[in-house]
Amino acid sequence: MSQPFLPYNLPDIGDDEIDAVVETLRSGWLAPGPRVRAFEEAFAERIGVRHAVAVTSCTAGMHLALLACGVGPGDEVIVPAITFPATANVVVHVGATPVLADVDPVDLNLDPEAVRAKLTARTKAIMPVHYAGQACRLDEIRSIAEEAGLHVIEDAAHAFGTTYRGEPIGRARDAAVFSFYATKNITTGAGGMVTTQSDAVAEGVRRLRMHGLSADAWDRYTDAGTPFYRVVAPGYNATMSDLEAAIGLAQLRRADAFLARRRELAQLYAKVLSDVPEIALPREREAGHSWHLYVIRLRRDALSIDRDAFLRELREEGIGTSVHFIPLHYHPYYRETFGWEQGDYPNAEAAFSEIVSLPLYTRMTDADVERVADAVRRVVERHRR
Ligand SMILES: *Cc1c(COP(=O)(O)O)cnc(C)c1O
């Protein structure tokens, strides 16, 4: 009777991706080149944005975008209390200070009122996350930024396929940064993309991702180029390789099917879990959710079990889960360095004791979703108050 363990996440890699990698390997050109350019063009066209700049990760892209926007020592950057640590780490990397703001209690996105309360004369940028694939309240965040003269650098790691009021996430005045890490909506293994309507930000990121070399250095190994380049900034090494871009191009061609399947799986979860009042299901606050994550919330007053034990019992039932995310102020480094204290971000803290990310990925079958739901129901039944 025992079924194999259902992992929390699996990438969807098919023959297209495998063939594209083999073809690239055989081509003899692995460095950033024609496939990176083609991936950038296809990505920019899909989003409908002027520039897409491919980088080694979302983390690297956010770092370079902050630099390109001129964020540095003495500046403060507002980040949400619930996010992956990279969102705050990149602020530290540019010498600025991350400032935590609490999240909305329902969608766990940056709360615009909490942002307003954290503005100071030093605030230079806001970094909203589109949590789980649901767009944050971008209009309100943009108008705060406009009033106060701030940059908005969107952590769009979850937001490939997300739309906001009919427009794809990524048409950013400053920058939106996507992740192609193995678990994300489309993957290149590891990789990221900075999108922007700003010529200056695009140029800054392009220069910084490649050692600070002048733009024409791209061609230095081709018959069109020369081996000479000029260093115009002390840049980094963060350009995507053609090998990753080849995977990205293949994934992009399948993206509409991926997103449709994610939506279907989310709808199926909503249906099969609708009769379990002890858990709250995620809702689409506005149309445009890309369903990167399916995060349920335990109703602690209805259950005699805490979140960690709930995860353990699901594991014993053969179901992999995850938690997105540990609030940043729970981590020792930030607490000690920035004095962030427990009690100061009540919505993030309440959420953390309740959130469980269920498996959601395109390779899941409808039967897998039913199996997860049955396991959830059994755990709930054992621990109903
Ligand atoms: C995955 C993730 C990142 C980091 O992406 P990488 O491409 O691995 O650097 C950043 N922010 C959030 C919210 C993420 O989920």
**Ligand 1 lined by 181 (C-beta under 6 Å):** yes
Ligand 1 centroid to residue 332 C-alpha, Å:
20
Whether the CB-CB separation of 110 and 152 falls below 8 Å is answered with no
3-state helix, strand, coil in the chain (%, to 5): 40, 15, 40
In 350-369, which positions are buried (b, 16+ CB within 10 angstroms) versus exposed (e)? Answer: ebbebbbbbbbbbebeeebb
Instruction: Answer yes or no: 184 catalytic.
Output: yes
Number of neighbours of residue 145 by Cβ within 10 angstroms: 21
Q: Which helix (H) or strand (E) holds 125?
A: strand 123-126
Q: Which amino acid is at 266?
A: A
pTM of this structure? 0.97
pLDDT at 218 over 70: no
Q: pLDDT for 271-320, tens place per residue?
A: 999 999 999 999 999 999 999 999 999 999 999 999 999 999 999 999 99
Residues counted in the chain: 385
Q: Report the C-alpha gap between 202 and 204 in whole angstroms.
A: 5
**Ligand 1 lined by 158 (C-beta under 6 Å):** yes
* Residue identifier of the C-alpha nearest atom 3 of ligand 1: 157
Q: Report the C-alpha gap between 40 and 245 in whole angstroms.
A: 9
pLDDT for the residue 215: 67
Q: Report the C-alpha gap between 13 and 22 in whole angstroms.
A: 13
CA distances in angstroms from 344 to 37, 75, 157, 224, listed in the order given? 45, 22, 26, 58
Ligand 1 centroid to residue 83 C-alpha, Å:
9
Ligand 1 centroid to residue 192 C-alpha, Å:
9
Q: Report the C-alpha gap between 144 and 146 in whole angstroms.
A: 6
Q: Report the C-alpha gap between 308 and 355 in whole angstroms.
A: 10
**Ligand 1 lined by 54 (C-beta under 6 Å):** no
Q: pLDDT for 332-367, tens place per residue?
A: 999 999 999 999 999 999 999 999 999 999 999 999
Q: pLDDT for 70-87, tens place per residue?
A: 999 999 999 999 999 999
Which is the closest atom of ligand 1 to the Cα of 57?
7
